[in-house]
Structure 1
Amino acid sequence: MMIRLCFALCLLAAPALADDYIAFHSPSGNIQCGMSTGDYAQVRCDMSELTPTYHKAPADCEFDWGSSFAVDAGGKGYLACVSDAVADPGAVELGYGKSITLGPFTCTSEKSGMECTNLGGHGFKISKAKQSLF
């Protein structure tokens, strides 16, 4: 247990490498996220329970839509069309009031939800009651 805890805390404090990936979740477990750098630099968070703010999926989305939120290194946040999940049993719990940064991304966990942004200030803010893209 101590080794795993140290690994998780050390991973949060370590500088990012070229192709790093961190899986984390909110204390409630309702928001599961993955943050990566490299060729596919992105933050994506999936929600298991929510009252959807967005209702109309794009015509070209053949998979799940409406509960996965993402932002790339450049550009605005968006709803992701996904056929997988970012939930990871080994994910780090990001406590309320805490932030995690990897490459151009920062996510902050609050009792009111999760906010993730890129260096341009774009991203998403999500909670069970409301979700916004910016």
Structure 2
Amino acid sequence: MNRLTFALTLLAAPFIAAPACADDYLAFHSPSGNIQCAISTGDYAQVRCDMASLTPTYRKAPADCEFDWGSSFAVDAGGKGYLACVSDAVADPGGVELGYGKSITLGPFTCTSEKSGMECTNPGGHGFKLSKAKQSLF
């Protein structure tokens, strides 16, 4: 290996292996990979989770939603959980796996992964609980 290749490899290595985590952002997913989530604590602090496969509990999209609806759930730092009308996805190939029985906290948000699904809450106790069979907002 020549010196230039070696130097570029050393410079790139930390970025290739780095998890999807920063002081104000964290991406993670359920062990099955069906639920993909991201927590951000910047100016628009929220936790959002997208589901790849589900039997939707909420079926009728609002008239003003022109994008995907029914499989993305979010909660802000001070409000109740809600369905998000989205044109993107939070799936991040660098996201960490949140094992069953484990919780993760960033800023004001906590998410817990169980075999029965994923629950995310804000400090007021509001949020959402997701499973393939049922989704609830509170």
What TM-score does the superposition give when structure 2 sets the normalisation length?
A: 0.84
**Greater alpha carbon shift after TM alignment, 30-39 vs 14-23:** 14-23
Is the 8 Å Cα contact of residues 20 and 94 (structure 2) preserved in structure 1?
no
Any runs of at least 4 consecutive aligned residues in structure 1 with deviations exceeding 2 A, and if so which?
Answer: 2-19
Q: Per-residue deviation at 1:8?
A: 24
**How has the CA–CA distance of structure 1 residues 16 and 84 changed in structure 2, closer, same or farther, with 3 Å as cutoff?**
closer
Q: Per-residue deviation at 1:5?
A: 27
**How has the CA–CA distance of structure 1 residues 43 and 51 changed in structure 2, closer, same or farther, with 3 Å as cutoff?**
same
Structure 1 residue ranges without an equivalent (≥5): none
Q: Per-residue deviation at 1:40?
A: 1.0
Q: CA RMSD in A?
A: 6.5
Match status 1:123 vs 2:122: no
**How has the CA–CA distance of structure 1 residues 37 and 50 changed in structure 2, closer, same or farther, with 3 Å as cutoff?**
same
* Counterparts of 1:4 and 1:113, CA distance in 2: 49
Query: For 1:1-25, what per-residue CA distance to the aligned partner results, in whole angstroms no more than 9, with x for missing partners?
Result: x999999999999999996100000
* Counterparts of 1:106 and 1:6, CA distance in 2: 42
SS in 2 for 1:35: strand
Is the 8 Å Cα contact of residues 21 and 27 (structure 2) preserved in structure 1?
no
Q: Per-residue deviation at 1:38?
A: 1.5
* Counterparts of 1:120 and 1:11, CA distance in 2: 45
* Counterparts of 2:103 and 2:4, CA distance in 1: 17
Give aligned pairs, total.
133
Structure 2 residue ranges without an equivalent (≥5): 12-16
* Counterparts of 2:37 and 2:46, CA distance in 1: 10
**How has the CA–CA distance of structure 1 residues 20 and 49 changed in structure 2, closer, same or farther, with 3 Å as cutoff?**
same
Is the 8 Å Cα contact of residues 42 and 73 (structure 1) preserved in structure 2?
yes
Greater C-alpha Rg: 2
> 2:75 is matched with which residue?
71
Q: Per-residue deviation at 1:43?
A: 0.3
* Counterparts of 1:70 and 1:8, CA distance in 2: 42
* Counterparts of 1:5 and 1:27, CA distance in 2: 39
Query: For 1:49-93, what per-residue CA distance to the aligned partner results, in whole angstroms no more than 9, with x for missing partners?
Result: 000000111111110000000000011000000000000000000
**Greater alpha carbon shift after TM alignment, 16-25 vs 27-36:** 16-25
**How has the CA–CA distance of structure 1 residues 17 and 67 changed in structure 2, closer, same or farther, with 3 Å as cutoff?**
closer
